[in-house]
Structure 1
Amino acid sequence: MRTALVIGTGLIGTSAALALAGRGVHVHLADHDPAQARTAAAMGAGSDAEPEGPVDLVIVAVPPAHVADTLADAMRRGLARGYLDVASVKGGPRRELEAKGCDLTHYLGTHPMSGRERSGPLAASADLFEGRPWVLTPSRDTDTEVLNLALELVALCHAVPVVMDADAHDRAVALVSHTPQLVSSMVAARLQNADETAVRLCGQGIRDVTRIAASDPAMWIDILSANPGPVADVLAELADDLAETVRALRSLESGAEDAREDGAAGIADVLRRGNAGRVRVPGKHGAAPAAYDTVTVLIGDQPGELARIFADADRAGVNIEDVRIEHATGQQAGRIQLVVEPNAVQPLTVALRERGWPLRP
């Protein structure tokens, strides 16, 4: 791939353009808002000048509702040898292109499983896709050259290709992406009119659950409008669990021993199933979840503290597998959980104590 045209210079489009431009591909940028394309160009993502002739690959990075029209227009104008989109739904756009009578041999639907709560070109980063799954949904009609271009794109972005059927992809993202967004927003909505004393009690649990509730509503309306059926199916199952959990909690309120035992059993069931599901979430680098332990340290909110504790762990010969920080409300301190291999707990604990770090249970 020597040349590419990215249509849509938001977070995903600009990030892909930055990755390609950084690896020697001559990238052209286009957007319905020319100022946004100019911003992406100023960041080094490419040129906002029109290409002089057909490019190797057109990458359509517009909202799902506009994908088919944008692709159809690009194909009609003969802008490239191959065309793909990066929308978060795949079945609908393909069916729309079929209905428009487009030649789908030169098209491949894709979806990089990466994003942020922020949007727009200024949120973009060349390493946004590093090590993340990038779904490809080829059909029997897909030309081999187009598939190879898509695989080259994924490789240049340092992502991991995953081949799926388009409709299977849409059912999968309904479960692992679209439903979590709605559930996070629903929980966060409970805080809108909550008493201030309750809000001040917010800890890491509520921060974890509501993190993605900060996402752009307009963007998510576009996404959910393109995949409503599969999302509704998952939410219906979730609603059944919610109704059963409410019933179990009401039973725990009851003074009758039998009802309380029944309620406790219902709560235990959903918690156990949650444990079993959580275990299936891939761990570090996408591998099977590993059994890690944590070392918890009280840390001050001053410059250099994180660097110092990481350096001390390095001196002890301990690799930090993951990090979680729980901030203390109204204080310049917090708890940092250093996630490590079980056999690293003892040497890390000894080393940190020797260097004066206050450890916590």
Structure 2
Amino acid sequence: MRTALVIGTGLIGTSAALALSGRGVTVHLRDEDASRARTAAALGAGTDREPAGPVDLCVVAVPPAHVARTLAEAQAAGLARGYLDVASVKGGPRRELEGAGCELASYIGTHPMAGSERSGPLAGAADLFEGRPWVLSPTPATETGVLNLALELVALCGAVPVVMDADAHDRAVALVSHTPQLVSSMVAARLEEADETAVRLCGQGIRDVTRIAASDPAMWIDILAANPGPVADVLAELATDLDETVRALRSLQAADEDKRRAGAAGIEAVLRRGNAGRERVPGKHGAAPAPYEPVTVLISDTPGELARIFADAGAAGVNIEDVRIEHATGQQAGRITLAVLPQSAPVLAAALRERGWALRQ
């Protein structure tokens, strides 16, 4: 691949363009809002000038509802020898293309499983896709050369290709992406009218659950409108669990001991199912989840403290597998939890104590 045209310079389009440009591909940028294309170009994502002739690959990075029209126009204009989209829904756009009589041999649907609660070209990053799955959903008509172009794009972006049927993809993202967005937003909505005293008690748990609730509503309306059925199916199953959990909690309030025991059993069941589901989430580098031991340290919110604790861990020969910071309310301090392999935890704890760090259980 020597040349590419990216249509749509939001987060995903700009990030792909930055990755391609950084690896020597000549990237042309187009957006219905010309100022966004100019911004992406100024960031080093490519040029907002139109290509002189057909490019090797046209990347359509527009909302799902506009994918079919944009692709049809690009194909009619002969902009490239291969076309793909990066929309988060695959089945609908493919059927729209088929219905419009578009030429499918030069097309492949794709979806990089990466993103952010931020949007627009300024949120773009060349390393956004590093190590992330990138779904490829070829049609029966997709030519091998076009599939190879898509695989090259994925490789240049540092992602991991995953081939999936379009409808299977849509059911999967309904479960692992679209429903979590709605649930996060619904939990965060409980805070809108909450008493200020309650809000001040917010800790890391509520921050984790509501992080993606900061996402752009307009973007998510486009996504959910393209995948409503599978998302509604998952929410219906979740609603059943919620109803059962509410009944179990009400039973815990009952005077009858048998009802209280039944309520406790119901709560335990949903918590244990949650444990089992969480254990299936891939771990580091996509491998099976590994058991880590937490080492929690009191840390002040001053320049250089994070660098110092990481340097001390490195000096002890311990690799930090994961990290979490929880800020104290009303104080310039907090706790940092370093996740390490179980055999490394006592080594790290002893080394940090020796260097004057205050550890917490």
Give the TM-score taking structure 2 as reference length: 1.00
Cα distance in 2 for residues equivalent to 1:297 and 1:115: 31
Aligned amino acid, residue 91 of structure 2: G
Alignment of 1:37-186 (within 5 A): 37-186=37-186
Q: CA deviation at 1:329?
A: 1.2
Cα distance in 1 for residues equivalent to 2:129 and 2:289: 21
Q: CA deviation at 1:345?
A: 0.6
Q: CA deviation at 1:139?
A: 2.1
Alignment of 1:10-49 (within 5 A): 10-49=10-49
Percent identity of the aligned residues? 81
Q: Secondary structure at the match of 1:29?
A: strand
Aligned amino acid, residue 67 of structure 2: V
Partner of 2:294: 294
Q: Secondary structure at the match of 1:152?
A: helix
Cα distance in 2 for residues equivalent to 1:330 and 1:14: 38
Runs in 1 of length 4+ with deviation above 4 angstroms? none
Cα distance in 2 for residues equivalent to 1:32 and 1:159: 28
Cα distance in 1 for residues equivalent to 2:200 and 2:51: 54
Aligned amino acid, residue 353 of structure 2: R
Alignment of 1:171-250 (within 5 A): 171-250=171-250
Cα distance in 2 for residues equivalent to 1:290 and 1:185: 30
For residues 213-254 of structure 1, give each alpha carbon's deviation from its aligned partner in whole angstroms, at most 9, with x where no partner exists: 000000000000000000000000000000000000000010
Partner of 1:269: 269
Q: CA deviation at 1:330?
A: 1.3
Aligned amino acid, residue 218 of structure 1: A
Cα distance in 1 for residues equivalent to 2:326 and 2:232: 34
Cα distance in 2 for residues equivalent to 1:103 and 1:157: 27
Q: CA deviation at 1:140?
A: 1.5
Cα distance in 1 for residues equivalent to 2:118 and 2:333: 27
Aligned amino acid, residue 249 of structure 2: L
Q: CA deviation at 1:62?
A: 0.5
Cα distance in 2 for residues equivalent to 1:62 and 1:328: 41
Q: CA deviation at 1:146?
A: 0.3
CA RMSD of aligned residues (A): 0.4
For residues 73-116 of structure 1, give each alpha carbon's deviation from its aligned partner in whole angstroms, at most 9, with x where no partner exists: 00011100000000000000000000100010100000000001
Aligned amino acid, residue 223 of structure 2: I
Cα distance in 2 for residues equivalent to 1:329 and 1:187: 21
Aligned amino acid, residue 187 of structure 1: V
Cα distance in 2 for residues equivalent to 1:43 and 1:217: 25
Give the TM-score taking structure 1 as reference length: 1.00
Q: Secondary structure at the match of 1:335?
A: strand
Q: Secondary structure at the match of 1:184?
A: helix
How many residues are paired up? 361
Cα distance in 2 for residues equivalent to 1:257 and 1:10: 57
Aligned amino acid, residue 270 of structure 2: V
Q: CA deviation at 1:19?
A: 0.3
